[in-house]
């Protein structure tokens, strides 16, 4: 695994057998990937690789966290967030971020290993230094599969509180100035003001913004379209416009904070 794939172990105790069975049912086709997920029958534990990319080089730009739901097994296997799918089709995230000027990395440099190295070094033009972060560490096809695999009790008592604590710690440790998420459910988990409907609002060009809760400073969070969203004839223009609006809001917020600190 690459240097953006931290390893985590969950002790499962009495829930071990049922969670092991559910994991094979939901993720069976991915379990052949080397070391992606492993079980220890003696300790009744599960060990898995996740995804977290924090630039090793710091450049004098605002630090913005790109917040995703959880890793996909195939991306972990390829060593980079949002890698091509099993049919080798590029994730829309990369051309959208290039078009919007957030990550202007040309297509010929967008193989997983190239992207990982570029993003770790923050070796790209653009207004922000970007952290790639998954709220839930466990890899699945879909975020809702985590609860189905681990069960309601383990999910609520172990996974949810650990995920929130680690998320807030990462914001503090890395001086994150703003968060951008692509998932409404994740937005609602961490924001002071949850929302109900968002897609029509985004299509209409509205800025969806709130504040991260449970933290002792102001950190804005913004919601944009899902990474794979393409369900409109003008989807590229709409996604770029949303990111443009968020970029202006973050830059304006940064200017206000600088003025207050002078």
- 20 lies in the same domain as 124: no
Q: Supply 194's token pair.
A: 């949850």
- 184 lies in the same domain as 119: yes
- 65 lies in the same domain as 15: no
Residue-by-residue pLDDT tens, the chain, 262 positions: 568 999 999 999 999 999 999 999 999 889 999 879 999 999 999 999 999 999 987 778 999 999 999 999 999 999 999 999 878 889 999 999 999 999 999 999 999 999 999 999 999 999 999 999 999 999 999 999 999 999 999 999 999 999 999 999 999 999 999 999 999 999 999 999 999 889 999 999 999 999 999 999 999 999 999 999 999 999 999 999 999 999 999 998 654 444 333 3
Is residue 187 situated within a structural domain?
A: yes
The reported pTM is 0.94
Is residue 1 situated within a structural domain?
A: no
- 40 lies in the same domain as 165: no
Domain count, the chain: 2
Length of the chain: 262
Is residue 154 situated within a structural domain?
A: yes
- 44 lies in the same domain as 72: no
Is residue 236 situated within a structural domain?
A: yes
> 114-121: long-range contacts at Cβ-Cβ below 8 A with a sequence spacing of 24 or more?
115/80, 115/81, 116/2, 116/4, 116/53, 116/79, 116/80, 119/53, 119/55, 120/3, 120/4, 120/53, 120/55, 120/56, 120/57, 121/55, 121/56, 121/57
- 57 lies in the same domain as 45: no
Is residue 197 situated within a structural domain?
A: yes
Judge whether 30 and 73 are in contact, CB under 8 Å.
yes
Structural domain boundaries, residue 206: 52-261
- 75 lies in the same domain as 13: no
Is residue 2 situated within a structural domain?
A: no
- 83 lies in the same domain as 129: yes
- 151 lies in the same domain as 236: yes
């Amino acid at each position: 695994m690459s240097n953006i794939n931290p390893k985590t172990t969950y002790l499962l105790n009495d829930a071990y057998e049922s969670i092991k069975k559910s994991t094979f049912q939901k993720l069976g086709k991915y379990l052949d990937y080397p070391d992606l997920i492993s079980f220890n029958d003696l300790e009744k534990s599960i060990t898995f690789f996740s995804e977290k990319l924090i630039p090793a080089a710091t450049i004098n730009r605002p630090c913005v966290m790109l917040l995703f739901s959880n890793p996909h097994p195939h991306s972990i296997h390829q060593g980079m967030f949002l890698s091509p799918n099993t049919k080798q089709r590029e994730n829309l995230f990369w051309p959208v971020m290039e078009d919007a000027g957030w990550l202007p990395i040309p297509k010929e440099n967008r193989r997983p290993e190239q992207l990982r190295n570029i993003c770790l070094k923050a070796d790209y033009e653009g207004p922000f230094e970007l952290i790639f972060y998954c709220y839930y560490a466990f890899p699945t096809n879909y975020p809702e599969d985590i609860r189905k695999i681990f069960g309601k009790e383990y999910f609520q008592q172990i996974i949810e509180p650990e995920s929130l604590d680690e998320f807030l710690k990462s914001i503090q440790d890395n001086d994150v100035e703003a968060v951008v998420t692509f998932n409404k459910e994740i937005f609602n988990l961490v924001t002071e003001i949850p929302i109900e409907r968002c897609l029509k609002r985004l299509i209409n060009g509205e800025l969806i913004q709130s504040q991260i809760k449970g933290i002792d400073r102001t950190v804005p969070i913004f919601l944009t379209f899902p990474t794979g969203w393409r369900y409109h004839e003008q989807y590229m223009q709409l996604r770029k416009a949303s990111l443009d609006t968020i970029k202006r809001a973050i830059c304006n917020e940064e200017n206000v904070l600088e003025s207050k600190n002078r």
